[in-house]
Amino acid sequence: MKRIGVLTSGGDAPGMNAAIRAVVRVAHTQGVEVVGIRRGYAGMIEGEFQPLGPRDVANIIQRGGTILLTARSKAFMTREGRAQAAAHLKNAGIDGLVVIGGDGTFHGAIKLIKEHQIPVVGVPGTIDNDLYGTDYTIGFDTAVNTALEAIDRIRDTAASHGRVFFIEVMGRDAGFIALDVGIAGGAEIIALPEISVSPQEIAEVITRSAEKGKQSSIVVVAEGAYPGGAEALMRAVAELTGLEGRVTVLGHIQRGGSPTAKDRVLASRLGGAAAEALIGGASGVMLGEVEGEVALTPLHEAVGNRKDIRRELYELARVLAV
């Protein structure tokens, strides 16, 4: 390969810039040019390409978001849109792609490979940590630490006012952020999409805690854990207990900010490995980290298999909340 492209797609995640930097600099050491594709697949359709050399990616490892920008493209979901994108790649002399993103990004990559035989390698960049084939995704650790800082501050207010706070964290239909934040933040209850918990069960825990002398409680709620989210769950529990509750939805604050050291190292490792794999002839795979080692997983497995939470951690959280 003489020239490869790199893009970020879907939701931004802290550490994406570190991955871009690694792709560019590792490819450069092998004499391969890198072209940055702006705004993900939307930019690919429009031909928004820019050359990236080692100096173009200087001083970005500490920055959140993505210097290449990101977008979701309805046009790329069509066969015609993908054909237009592939034509732009061919005209630009791009021999293969490194795509950084989550499951939607990888679904698009699979179709590009199948329909146009363009070599593509994926790098898992999503705060949700829901991709099979890697223990951690880029951005997850930063999101957890951002949410944890917020929860620590909210606990001060909860204790001061003797209230129950329901704190909603991101993760779509996966509870990885909620579980780690709940344990690290000492939450009394963690509500996850993977493990059903009813308002009645939560009410019982809060009531028992109050009887033991606890004047405040923290309930961490993954955004997909209950219909209507943390607000609806709080109202249901309040009807059963009569206790005063408050809701805080952390929202997109979890996606921004400077990446942690762990995310910078992970992104650098996987971005560099992805460039090497693509240049070496790999395609249709995601580069992940499993038990400390770089692992290749077929893209269709990465998006097709359900990655489960560590259920022993959930049981530990229940014990520690006594």
Residue 72 confidence (pLDDT)? 86
Q: Is 128 a catalytic residue?
A: yes
- Whether 103 has a binding-site annotation, put simply, is yes
Q: Where are the domains of the chain?
A: 3-139+259-304, 141-255
Residue 321 confidence (pLDDT)? 83
Residue 202 confidence (pLDDT)? 94
3-139+259-304 topology per CATH = Rossmann fold (3.40.50)
Q: Is the pLDDT of residue 244 over 90?
A: no
- Whether 262 has a binding-site annotation, put simply, is no
- Whether 283 has a binding-site annotation, put simply, is no
Q: Is the pLDDT of residue 210 over 90?
A: no
Question: 12, 95, 128, 180: which one is catalytic?
Answer: 128
Residue 90 confidence (pLDDT)? 97
- Whether 24 has a binding-site annotation, put simply, is yes
Largest CA distance in the chain: 71
Residue 162 confidence (pLDDT)? 87
DSSP string, 70-84: ----SGGGSHHHHHH
- Whether 285 has a binding-site annotation, put simply, is no
3-139+259-304 shares its CATH topology with 141-255: yes
Give residue-wise pLDDT tens across range 98-127.
999 999 999 999 999 999 999 999 999 999
What mean pLDDT is reported for the chain?
96
Beta strands in the chain (DSSP E): 3-8, 33-37, 49-52, 96-101, 120-124, 164-169, 189-191, 217-222, 245-249, 285-290, 293-298
Give residue-wise pLDDT tens across range 59-68.
999 999 999 9
Average pLDDT over residues 258-279: 98
Q: Half-sphere exposure (CA, 13 Å, Cβ side) for 281?
A: 0
Average pLDDT over residues 13-27: 98
141-255 topology per CATH = Rossmann fold (3.40.50)
Q: Is the pLDDT of residue 172 over 90?
A: no
Residue 252 banded pLDDT, cuts 50, 70, 90: very high
